[in-house]
């Protein structure tokens, strides 16, 4: 079995050496190779090398944002390049580690426990099992297009979701403690003056169209779209895994009272209730504003004037 290890040198666990490059080197052999990337350009180069050398399994040592960048590059490369007979190659089987800060995405893609323990389990299985027999999780990607470039990830959105990550990235220290500190300040603000909450829930004038129907609201405080079919912190996109042609949108312009009333629905992943709240499955979501706005895919920040969300290809991850 040919294994390719791709390391994001900027991932928190790699920087802190919880995923040590030296430790990964212990597993290198004739059939196991490694590439360390430090930029988006190097990610694209590493993926091109994967297309050229056909690994059976690609281990991605990265966080949620890096995972989105790697998978975007894999999909674009494997869709754009073709064999001599015109056919396309299948995406390789992936594995990932809890190498980021929050690990909201990597944590649901089959990886449990500390990175070192997961690496040990993976290579033990690689030695004892054929690639076809490795236990795996299938997960649909979310396609996000701004009209210029198509990217792929799992959760994308604007408004509250973008503002939250912008607040999180403020300053030089990014940690799980800071992540939950922001959440705590939001909850406290909800029941007090509301100033901090209002800054994150700032209203946007925008248009949302689900499939062929435009929604009546023209002001939104939050808009989040997901392809994930399992539970992820207040966001359960699908309870039915067979809906591969659907994505899930949560959006709205809720008042403070509406937010309070929906806390149990958020905690238990139930339908959001309220006249200015949107909670629906769709084949396509179009979102646009008159001016450039910020949006996020899995914690990475971008800007655009128009976005189209749609179901992307299905990828497979080893269950570790």
Measured distance CA(134)–CA(113) in Å, rounded: 18
139 in a domain, yes or no? Answer: no
If asked whether residues 107 and 177 sit together in one domain, one would say no
If asked whether residues 121 and 26 sit together in one domain, one would say yes
Q: The domain that contains 231 carries what CATH number?
A: 2.60.200.40
Token reading at 57: 């399994």
pLDDT in tens, 74-92: 999 999 999 999 999 999 9
Q: The domain that contains 111 carries what CATH number?
A: 3.40.50.10330
48 in a domain, yes or no? Answer: yes
Domain count, the chain: 2
Measured distance CA(48)–CA(69) in Å, rounded: 14
What stretches of 146-274 adopt beta strand conformation (E)?
150-153, 155-159, 204-205, 207-210, 213-214, 219-220, 222-226, 231-232, 235-236, 247-252
319 in a domain, yes or no? Answer: no
If asked whether residues 152 and 95 sit together in one domain, one would say no
Query: C-alpha distances in angstroms, 220 versus 111, 133, 159, 168?
Result: 35, 46, 7, 21
pLDDT in tens, 82-139: 999 999 999 999 999 877 666 667 767 767 778 888 899 999 988 888 888 998 888 8
pLDDT in tens, 251-304: 989 888 888 888 777 766 677 788 888 888 899 999 999 999 999 999 899 999
If asked whether residues 158 and 300 sit together in one domain, one would say yes
If asked whether residues 106 and 161 sit together in one domain, one would say no
If asked whether residues 33 and 164 sit together in one domain, one would say no
If asked whether residues 118 and 19 sit together in one domain, one would say yes
Domain boundary among 112, 134, 156: 134
pLDDT in tens, 139-189: 889 999 999 999 999 999 999 889 988 988 887 777 778 878 888 888 888
pLDDT in tens, 210-236: 998 888 888 899 899 988 755 444 444
Measured distance CA(103)–CA(130) in Å, rounded: 28
pTM for this model (two decimals): 0.89
If asked whether residues 190 and 209 sit together in one domain, one would say yes
Sign of torsion over alpha carbons 114, 117, 120, 123:
negative
Domain boundary among 73, 100, 134: 134
Could you tell me the residue range of the domain that residue 161 belongs to? 145-313
């Amino acid at each position: 079995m040919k294994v390719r290890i791709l390391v994001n040198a900027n991932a928190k666990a790699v920087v802190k050496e919880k995923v040590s490059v030296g430790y990964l080197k212990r597993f290198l052999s004739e059939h196991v190779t490694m590439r360390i990337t430090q930029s988006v350009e190097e990610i694209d180069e590493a993926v091109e090398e994967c297309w050229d050398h056909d690994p059976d399994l690609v281990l991605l040592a990265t966080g949620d944002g890096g995972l989105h960048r790697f998978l975007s590059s894999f999909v674009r490369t494997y869709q754009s390049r073709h064999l001599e007979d015109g056919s396309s190659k299948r995406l390789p089987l992936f594995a990932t580690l809890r190498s980021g800060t929050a690990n909201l995405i990597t944590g649901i893609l089959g990886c449990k426990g500390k990175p070192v323990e997961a690496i040990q389990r993976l290579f033990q299985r690689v030695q004892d099992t054929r690639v076809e027999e490795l236990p795996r999780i299938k997960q649909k990607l979310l396609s996000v297009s701004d009209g210029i470039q198509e990217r792929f990830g799992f959760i994308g959105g604007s408004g509250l979701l973008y503002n939250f990550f912008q607040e999180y990235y403020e300053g030089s220290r990014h940690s799980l403690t800071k992540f939950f500190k922001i959440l705590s300040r939001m909850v406290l603000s909800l029941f007090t003056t509301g100033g901090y909450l209002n800054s994150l829930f700032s209203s946007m004038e925008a248009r949302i169209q689900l499939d062929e129907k435009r929604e009546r609201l023209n002001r939104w405080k939050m808009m989040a779209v997901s392809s994930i079919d399992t539970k992820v912190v207040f966001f359960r996109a699908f309870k039915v895994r067979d809906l591969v042609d659907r994505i899930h949108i949560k959006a709205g312009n809720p008042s403070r009272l509406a937010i309070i009333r929906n806390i149990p629905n958020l905690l238990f992943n139930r339908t959001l209730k309220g006249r200015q709240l949107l909670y629906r499955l769709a084949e396509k979501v179009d979102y646009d504003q008159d001016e450039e706005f910020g949006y996020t895919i899995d914690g990475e920040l971008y800007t655009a004037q128009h976005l189209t969300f749609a179901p992307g290809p299905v990828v497979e991850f080893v269950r570790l």
